[in-house]
Structure 1
Amino acid sequence: MTDAFIDPDRAQFEAFKALDRDLPIDMLNLVRLRDLAAYPDGHDLAGKGLTGADAYARYGAESGPVFARVGGRIVWRGEFQTTLIGPGDERWDHCFVARYPSAHAFLQMVTDPDYRQAVVHRQAAVLTSRLIRCATAEAGEVFG
């Protein structure tokens, strides 16, 4: 895996903000963790030997209350097994869908001061990720 995707770039974030902010959204999260967390120099946990899993657990513990406060919830979680179609070198340590009552709620979360402190753990933990915004749609029994 060659490309690290940890935070959105400016164009991606602007495209996200340009979409309807009032409707519920589902965020597909695919996360691959580092073997060892990479905290920035000067951070209290830099060089302490934490794994990516340790750092991601800290991110979850610290960001979870903010996620709940904005009305977010995990609506699906699965354990990665294999890729049938797609890059063969991709594997994911966490696969889940987070539902937000609106894009406003997601934006409220990512700008919350407590979340902004917690996100350093995510940045230290993640080797690469995919965060894909989807409009919530009704499930059915056929494709398409």
Structure 2
Amino acid sequence: MTEAFVDPTRVQFDLFKGLDRNEPCEMLNLVRLRDRAAYPAEHALANAGLTGEQAYANYGTHSGPVLRRVGGSILWRGNWRCGLIGPADEAWDHVFIARYPSAHAFMAMVKDPDYAIAVVHRQAAVETSRLIRCAPTDAGDVFG
């Protein structure tokens, strides 16, 4: 198994916060789920036997209102098929781009008390993930 990445490190979060907070913020999300959710022992769902998919659905249910409240949305979502370049063991259960009007909006979401409740479901669900901040640019018909 590869190293697990579920939450940002302090260094990663400080780098994020050091970038322009006023520009639109698009977050590429690659998420691999656990077979069985791993809630903290004191959580009400710790012994419920939920799958990672069920716990991630709980995350969506509870985080969705916060995402909308800060002006965010899911810009694009797709189903993983295969990787053409990259580690052979990387496969993703959820692939999507979340759009926020600014990095300030993303920060408001992660600091929201309702999001703090929701993120426990994400942490229980996720085996590993990638969260990549991007700034939108003009689309076109050429690479680069």
Task: Note the C-alpha offset of 1:143.
Answer: 0.2
SS in 2 for 1:77: strand
Deviations 1:89-126 (A, max 9, x none): 01000000000000000000000000001100000000
Superposition map of 1:119-130 within 5 A: 119-130=119-130
Residue ranges of structure 2 left out of the alignment (5+ in a row): none
Deviations 1:62-106 (A, max 9, x none): 000000000001111110000100000010000000000000000
SS in 1 for 2:35: coil
Letter in 1 for 2:91: R
Instruction: Please give the TM-score of this superposition, normalised by the length of structure 2.
Output: 0.99
Task: Note the C-alpha offset of 1:48.
Answer: 1.2
Partner of 2:82: 82
1:14 aligns with 2:47: no
SS in 1 for 2:88: coil
Deviations 1:35-84 (A, max 9, x none): 00000111110021000000000000000000000000111111000010
Shift >2 Å, 4+ stretches = none
CA separation in 1, counterparts of 2:138 and 2:75?
14
Superposition map of 1:1-144 within 5 A: 1-144=1-144
Letter in 1 for 2:64: G
Paired residue total: 144
Q: Percent of pairs identical after alignment?
A: 69
CA separation in 1, counterparts of 2:14 and 2:102?
16
Letter in 1 for 2:60: G
CA separation in 2, counterparts of 1:74 and 1:43?
28
SS in 1 for 2:15: helix
SS in 2 for 1:16: helix
RMSD: 0.5
Residue ranges of structure 1 left out of the alignment (5+ in a row): none
Task: Note the C-alpha offset of 1:138.
Answer: 1.1
Instruction: Please give the TM-score of this superposition, normalised by the length of structure 1.
Output: 0.99
